[in-house]
Amino acid sequence: MSEAALVRDIETLRDMEGSQGRFAGEIREALNAAELEIRRTLDWLQERLHHWQREVERWRQEVQRARAALERCLRSGYRDRNGHYHPPDCSAYQTALFAAERRLQAAEAELSNTRKWLACVREAEAPYRVEARRLERMAFADIPRARALLNRKIADLEAYLAVSVAEAAMVAGVTLAAAGGAAVGAAIALLRSQEGDLRRALGAQGEQIAAQLVAEEFALKELLFDQPKHGFDRVFGAPGIPVIVVESKVASNGKLHLGRTRAGEQASPEWVAATVEKMTDVTSAQWSPANERIAALVRDLGPENVPVLTVVINPTTETADVYYRQGTSENWLPLQQGLSLRNLGLESKG
């Protein structure tokens, strides 16, 4: 007899894969910001270098002109008829020469200081480039490889769980796709019997029950889309309401409990907006043309205005409660309670 693998929490692997993706994105953003700052600093220092080179040249010429003017002044002395020498007053020329020399010295000091800082930045740039290339390899090669490996392992585990669920369904003798009362009863029995990850793997059957319940009870029309791993369970429409999000929960105590995500509580306006963002990101695994069309409907309506229904399936009592949330309210209000699941699909067959 073969031994079953012990699978505790696939969500942890998904969270790890997502964290690695966010970390790689943060690395890329930091590298881009650092590169921009380095280029900006080097460009500014280079501009300052050229500026002070021009200033040094300008004040050197000023010094030469002031010195020549002083020399001309000093040669302008004369002797009178008695032979007495009358020296010229060249103090203004001397002052101008001193001022030009001070300006030249200041410009030379600035030029020297700029050259020093330019050399320091270029010297620091070399070891940074080595570390930056290492981080680039991590962000663009190592982490994507690790994410690909995790995704393969997640797919393998999900396939394993799917096989386990399929075997359980074969034992029951029916699948929910039969869309009859007996099929619903078999699915409920499976939901009631499974625990842990196997029970979570039966979420698709819970979603199908919720979808069938909503369609029959409220006459809503289901909208087809490529269901993401982390996103809306089902999407419906109604006259005057282009999109309605439907979430399903299986709870043996019949209580409504929505999980917390990084984007906020599941089925909240913030969560709806974050899910739509992923559905429109062509780099995301949740993107597809169909999903982008659904996302456009949500955006046109506004995530905060999208009606959300949550169906809580109680496999113990074989009933379901339906809750709805209005606008940005955090309160969930009961819409229908104690709906029997045994009658699902019977009306359509009658």
State the pLDDT at residue 185: 54
3-class DSSP assignment, residue 314: strand
Under a CB-based contact definition with an 8 Å cutoff, are residues 276 and 149 in contact? no
Beta carbons within 10 angstroms of residue 76's beta carbon: 12
Percent of the chain with pLDDT over 90: 23
Beta carbons within 10 angstroms of residue 35's beta carbon: 13
State the pLDDT at residue 176: 41
For residue 258, give both structure tokens.
């929505």
- Residue 217: is its pLDDT beyond 70? yes
Calpha distance 225→234 (Å, rounded): 8
Calpha distance 336→341 (Å, rounded): 13
Beta carbons within 10 angstroms of residue 311's beta carbon: 28
Q: 167 falls in which pLDDT band (50, 70, 90)? A: low
Q: C-alpha angle 198/200/204, rounded to 5°? A: 110
Domain locations along the chain: 10-160, 176-349
pLDDT, average across residues 209-232: 80
Higher confidence at residue 175 or residue 156? 156
State the pLDDT at residue 158: 67
Under a CB-based contact definition with an 8 Å cutoff, are residues 311 and 321 in contact? yes
For residue 223, give both structure tokens.
């909208």
Under a CB-based contact definition with an 8 Å cutoff, are residues 102 and 88 in contact? no
For residue 331, give both structure tokens.
């309160």
DSSP secondary structure string for all residues of 91-146: HHHHHHHHHHHHHHHHHHHHHHHHHHHHHHHHHHHHHHHHHHHHHHHIIIIIHHHH
Under a CB-based contact definition with an 8 Å cutoff, are residues 257 and 332 in contact? no
pLDDT, average across residues 110-114: 95
- Residue 130: is its pLDDT beyond 50? yes
Please list, in sequence order, all residues whose beta carbon lies within 8 angstroms of the beta carbon of residue 324, skipping any fewer than 6 positions away: 307, 308, 309, 310, 332, 333, 335
Question: 37-89: per-residue pLDDT in tens?
Answer: 999 999 999 999 999 999 999 999 999 999 999 999 999 888 888 888 889 99
- Residue 18: is its pLDDT beyond 90? no
State the pLDDT at residue 203: 56
Question: 275-310: per-residue pLDDT in tens?
Answer: 888 888 877 778 888 888 888 888 888 888 888 899
State the pLDDT at residue 242: 85
- Residue 155: is its pLDDT beyond 80? no
- Residue 162: is its pLDDT beyond 90? no
- Residue 328: is its pLDDT beyond 50? yes
